[in-house]
Structure 1
Amino acid sequence: MTRDKTFTLVKSYKPFHSKYDPCPPIGRNYYRTPPNLYMNFQPPNLEQFTPEEALKYGTLWKFFYDYYDNPYRERET
């Protein structure tokens, strides 16, 4: 089994589905991990949003902003 070594905030897993399970398989489940999990401490002089942008994005520091993209939504090509 090979694992992808690429860093991403979006993780996924495929739940076990027994052949005796009467329900159809779910497929892949996705979840997000917050950026602050990957930082031991907050270094000084992090880049900041303006106060108006901070209210819009929900955080003062740009590093901690994580845009939510619904992985279950069909993407238009």
Structure 2
Amino acid sequence: MSNLYGDFSQKIDYVFKIVLIGDSAVGKSQLLTRFARNEFNLDSKATIGVEFQTKTLVIDHKTVKAQIWDTAGQERK
């Protein structure tokens, strides 16, 4: 499958594992949704636990996969 982001059957050159943390209701889920799916939803619901999304891009002829975890924003200090 080849598209704007490259050929997904090729090998992954880099994998980045990212965790979004921060206070509740600051937009972590919206940031992730905008990056991963290019969507924005005014009626989003609070994250319960942790959600996970991936996005694969081609940057400078290298295939980069981002594995992004979205937390609920209620982490204990």
Q: Same fold (TM over 0.5)?
A: no
Larger radius of gyration: 1
**TM-score category of the 2 structures, normalised to the smaller one:** under 0.3
Greater RCO (CA < 8 Å, at least 6 residues apart): 2
Greater share of residues in strand: 2
Q: Taking structure 2 as the reference length, what is the TM-score of the superposition?
A: 0.24
